[in-house]
Amino acid sequence: MAIDLRSLGFKLSQYRRQLLLSLDDVSYATGIYASRLDSIEKGQTEPTGDEILILADNYRCDFKFFISNDQVASFEQTDALYRAHGADFTKEDRLAIQDFLYLCETEAFLMQELGQRRTQFDFTPTGTYFKGQGATAAERFRVALGHSAKEVSRDIYDEFRSVGVHVFRRKLGNSDISGLFIMHPVAGKCALINLSEDVYRQRFSAAHEMAHAIFDYAQGVSVSFDRTHGLDMLEVRANRFASCFLMPPAFLALLPDPTRWSEADAIHWANELRVSCHALAIALKEAKLIDEPTANRIQQMRVPRESKIEPELPNSLTTSQRNRKARLLELGLSDFYVGLCFDAFSNGIISVGRLAEALLSSQTELTELASIYGRSLHGH
């Protein structure tokens, strides 16, 4: 099938403009002359096969998309995202989001190739009481996951993945953004959590984005900010879902009288629930277990940073391994995703070159990555 040069050029131009890149930027990154890139984007020049592969890698996109006449692409969602919130995303953040979408699509592909199936969680809201919808959905989702009413969720990221949501944490420069949700045309439901946030705030943000995946996926894309301006009921519902999922009302009802808590008590229970004292105070107030003055007092307390638990940076790591893995987390590489990549490599599904590409690294870095994650590059 002949390549539609105008369609190819449009796709390349669309990606470049969304990422706020100039022709010179792309030329520097790819080694292709800016004048030739311009001609390719205008549909006047047919790129070589190598050039298509290089450009696809630069834009974190499957090369087959560029050479096909298929118009389906994630940039339709990101276009809506940047039209609504363009000023909130720097060039670096847009590149981070492009990486995130690439990781989601790669994860979906690897899960399919490895035969990993996910269950579906569906919830149809009734009535117009949005906070009630969020609370009910959280309760039913916990039941679907097999939790008792009094059980506290631990690995929430794995739980969200278990129902087909691709969850990645990636560092964004805009600290006001806590997360975003995108309905990817290939990968499906995708949630990005800002790794720049406090580790417990990230858990709340992840649960918040899970609510958008349940209720608001038909919208295609949404951005969640650290502080919501105005009375956005979709955000209110998502916050209520997150609160009830992470801090089940039945669990809160069993706690010692919170009106008598010392600072140590509040910090203990916040750490037990893996939430901030601020979030815990709001949940206790919603459950009518404390009054406004007590809520204000608890909200001022802080769980010490060194006491918080980061599940993907265990104490078993050496200092150098911990620092290296922390940098990988900033790129979005979760334990689950890295495991998928190495499993696919071990099963001969992807090559060593494709493994490096999927891990956003060079082939020379793979030995170190394998060591950090306890995997092997041999014997597949």
Nearest Cα to 15, choosing from 64, 69, 70, 73? 73
| Mean pLDDT lowest among 54-63, 197-206, 258-267, 282-291 | 54-63
Taking residues 255-264, report their average pLDDT: 95
Q: Which domains does the chain have, with CATH numbers?
A: 5-73 (1.10.260.40), 85-127+150-243 (1.10.10), 247-309 (no CATH), 319-372 (no CATH)
pLDDT band at 230 (very low <50, low <70, confident <90, very high): low
| Mean pLDDT lowest among 110-119, 134-143, 280-289, 309-318 | 309-318
Query: Over 80: is that where the pLDDT of 71 sits?
Result: no
pLDDT of residue 314: 78
Q: What is the DSSP code string of 276-304?
A: -HHHHHHHHHHTTSS-HHHHHHHHT----
CA dist 326 and 196 (Å) reads: 12
pLDDT of residue 1: 55
Q: What percent of the chain has pLDDT over 90?
A: 66
Residue 368 half-sphere exposure toward CB, CA atoms < 13 A: 13
CA dist 233 and 76 (Å) reads: 25
| Mean pLDDT value across the chain | 90
pLDDT band at 255 (very low <50, low <70, confident <90, very high): very high
**Residue 268: exposure state from Cβ atoms within 10 A (0-12, 13-18, ≥19):** middle
Question: pLDDT higher for 245 or 307?
Answer: 245
Taking residues 189-197, report their average pLDDT: 94
Encode pLDDT of 150-172 as tens digits: 888 888 999 999 999 999 999 89
pLDDT of residue 2: 72
pLDDT band at 252 (very low <50, low <70, confident <90, very high): very high
pLDDT band at 249 (very low <50, low <70, confident <90, very high): very high
Encode pLDDT of 21-61 as tens digits: 999 999 999 999 999 999 999 999 999 999 999 998 898 88
Length of the chain: 380
Query: Over 70: is that where the pLDDT of 3 sits?
Result: yes
Local structure of residue 89 (DSSP, 8 states)? -
Q: What predicted TM-score, i.e. pTM, was given to this entire model?
A: 0.91
Contact 12, 55 (CB under 8 A): yes
pLDDT of residue 109: 94
Taking residues 271-289, report their average pLDDT: 95
pLDDT of residue 229: 56
pLDDT band at 84 (very low <50, low <70, confident <90, very high): confident
Question: pLDDT higher for 229 or 9?
Answer: 9
Query: Over 70: is that where the pLDDT of 345 sits?
Result: yes
What the block records as the tokens of 120 is 């579906």
Encode pLDDT of 346-355 as tens digits: 999 999 999 9
Taking residues 214-240, report their average pLDDT: 87
Pairing of strands 166-170, 188-194: parallel
pLDDT band at 101 (very low <50, low <70, confident <90, very high): very high
Query: Over 70: is that where the pLDDT of 70 sits?
Result: no
pLDDT of residue 21: 93
Distance of CA 150 to the CA centre of its chain: 27
Q: 278: Cβ–Cβ under 8 A, 6 or more apart, which residues?
A: 299
